[in-house]
């Protein structure tokens, strides 16, 4: 267990915001986590993973916690399925490699998403037609107030689009210590989202590993490598509009892309931003990324205010052009 004071966070957020934390503490076990929670019971606490979905607005006047709980353990196996428990501090993409090396499918479409296993279950990460909730069996946590362990079955996590109970009713109340994934030995491939099928056209019988490689290839053409330009991935959520609103939009824009969504129609925010002419627009060091306008990048010297102002400008423009409110996917931290 290590505790640091006045800790620089630049390397701990993929936007590369140059801010500091009053305290930064890392732990290796659940017991160490409980010790830290007792020690800092009266402080403001934020638990982070890789900081790939955070926008620090200023220095953090509290304690930042980070998990080093790693490891993977097979809990149960049948002819068709495996239950695999993975520590919250494991990098999610390494967990996928581990799964695929053993022939266990389900997570391949989520390849190359930055971040750790603990955060994946908070965020309900998703890509290429799959969300992590589709492969979560249960989530192991510690309650911050009582220090007691609690297991959440997948239904109890109330997953929605990039959403969970841990971002709403129980925000900041539980720390994820491990996630148990339910994986398939004869996985059904999800190829009908984005360009996956096109990327795999030369392979007659693609495997889960082929899907992973296709997803990685496609993502790297579109998304900036964090080492090249800081970002937090998609800055905005794709809005879901009513069927009536969508019909109205389609009358004006017959080519508008869309996906059926349980309670309405999902419209890609990237298309709206592109159409609104905001691609490439800059405020200070923040810029709407040219190749993927859903992403705001730090071109080198952005301060938090630049990103906030640019995001507001994009939101206003989308509202005035299309009458749609787009919401940030990124967590603002103050």
Ligand X SMILES: Cc1cc2nc3c(=O)[nH]c(=O)nc-3n(C[C@H](O)[C@H](O)[C@H](O)COP(=O)(O)OP(=O)(O)OC[C@H]3O[C@@H](n4cnc5c(N)ncnc54)[C@H](O)[C@@H]3O)c2cc1C
Active site residues: 162, 234, 329
Q: Which residues contact 305 (CB under 8 A, 6 or more apart)?
A: 284
Q: What angle do CA 232, 228, 272 make, to 5 degrees?
A: 45
**51, 87, 105, 328: which one contacts ligand X (CB under 6 A)?**
51
Q: 140 with 178: CB under 8 angstroms?
A: yes
Map the footprint of ligand X across residues 219-278, applying CB under 6 A. Answer: 223, 226, 231-233
**Contact track, ligand X, 209-228, x by CB under 6 A:** --------------x--x--
**17, 19, 63, 175: which one contacts ligand X (CB under 6 A)?**
175
298 interacts with ligand X by CB under 6 A: no
Bridge partner list, 66 = 26, 48
- Cα gap 224→316, rounded to integer Å: 25
Of the candidates 144, 139, 111, 110, which has an alpha carbon nearest to the alpha carbon of residue 37? 144
Quick one: 48 or 267, whose CB is closer to ligand X?
Answer: 48
Q: 311 with 296: CB under 8 angstroms?
A: yes
- Cα gap 182→180, rounded to integer Å: 7
**48, 170, 307, 314: which one contacts ligand X (CB under 6 A)?**
48
- Cα gap 99→72, rounded to integer Å: 10
Quick one: 134 or 322, whose CB is closer to ligand X?
Answer: 134
**49, 106, 239, 293: which one contacts ligand X (CB under 6 A)?**
49
**127, 136, 208, 302: which one contacts ligand X (CB under 6 A)?**
127
Q: Alpha helices of the chain — where are they, by DSSP H? A: 30-39, 92-101, 117-123, 196-199, 208-222, 243-252, 269-275, 304-322
126 interacts with ligand X by CB under 6 A: yes
Nearest approach, Cβ of residue 250 and ligand X (Å): 26
The token duo for 114 is 């930055």
Nearest approach, Cβ of residue 321 and ligand X (Å): 25
**63, 86, 96, 113: which one contacts ligand X (CB under 6 A)?**
113
Greatest Cα pair distance, the chain, in angstroms, is: 59
**16, 109, 111, 120: which one contacts ligand X (CB under 6 A)?**
120
16 interacts with ligand X by CB under 6 A: no
- Cα gap 145→152, rounded to integer Å: 17
Quick one: which segment of 44-52, 71-79, 208-216, 273-281 binds ligand X (CB under 6 A)? 44-52
Which residue in the shown chain puts its C-beta closest to ligand X?
Answer: 49
Quick one: 50 or 249, whose CB is closer to ligand X?
Answer: 50
- Cα gap 96→117, rounded to integer Å: 10
Chain residues that interact with ligand X, rule: CB under 6 A: 14, 46-54, 67, 88, 113-116, 118-120, 122-123, 125-127, 162, 175-176, 223, 226, 231-233, 331
């Amino acid at each position: 267990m290590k505790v640091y004071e006045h800790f620089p966070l630049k390397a701990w957020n993929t936007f590369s915001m140059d801010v500091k934390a009053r305290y930064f503490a890392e732990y290796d076990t659940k017991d160490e986590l409980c010790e830290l929670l007792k020690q800092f019971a009266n402080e403001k606490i934020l638990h982070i993973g890789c900081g790939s979905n955070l926008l620090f607005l200023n220095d953090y006047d509290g304690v930042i916690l980070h998990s080093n709980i790693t490891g993977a353990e097979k809990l149960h196996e049948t002819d068709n399925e495996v239950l695999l428990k993975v520590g919250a501090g494991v990098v999610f993409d390494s967990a996928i490699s581990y799964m695929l090396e053993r022939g266990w499918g389900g997570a391949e479409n989520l390849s190359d998403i930055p971040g750790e296993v603990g955060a994946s279950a908070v965020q309900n990460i998703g890509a290429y037609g799959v969300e992590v909730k589709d492969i979560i069996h249960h989530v192991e946590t510690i309650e911050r107030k009582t220090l007691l362990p609690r297991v959440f079955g997948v239904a109890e996590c109330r997953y929605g689009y990039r959403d969970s109970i841990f971002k709403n009713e129980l925000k900041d109340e539980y720390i994820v210590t491990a996630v148990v994934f339910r994986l398939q030995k004869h996985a059904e491939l999800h190829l009908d989202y984005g360009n996956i099928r096109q990327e795999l056209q030369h392979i007659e019988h693609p495997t889960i590993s082929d899907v992973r490689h296709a997803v990685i290839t496609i993502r790297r053409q579109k998304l900036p490598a964090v080492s090249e330009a800081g970002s937090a991935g998609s800055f905005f959520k794709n809005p879901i509009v009513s069927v009536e609103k969508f019909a109205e939009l389609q009358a004006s824009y017959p080519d508008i892309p869309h996906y059926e969504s349980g309670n309405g129609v999902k419209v890609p925010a990237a298309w709206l931003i592109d159409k609104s002419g905001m691609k490439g627009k800059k405020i200070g060091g923040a810029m709407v990324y040219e190749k993927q306008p859903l992403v705001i990048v730090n071109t080198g010297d952005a301060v938090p205010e630049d990103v906030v102002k640019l995001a507001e400008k994009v939101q206003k423009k989308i509202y005035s052009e299309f009458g749609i409110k787009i919401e940030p996917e990124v967590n603002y931290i103050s």
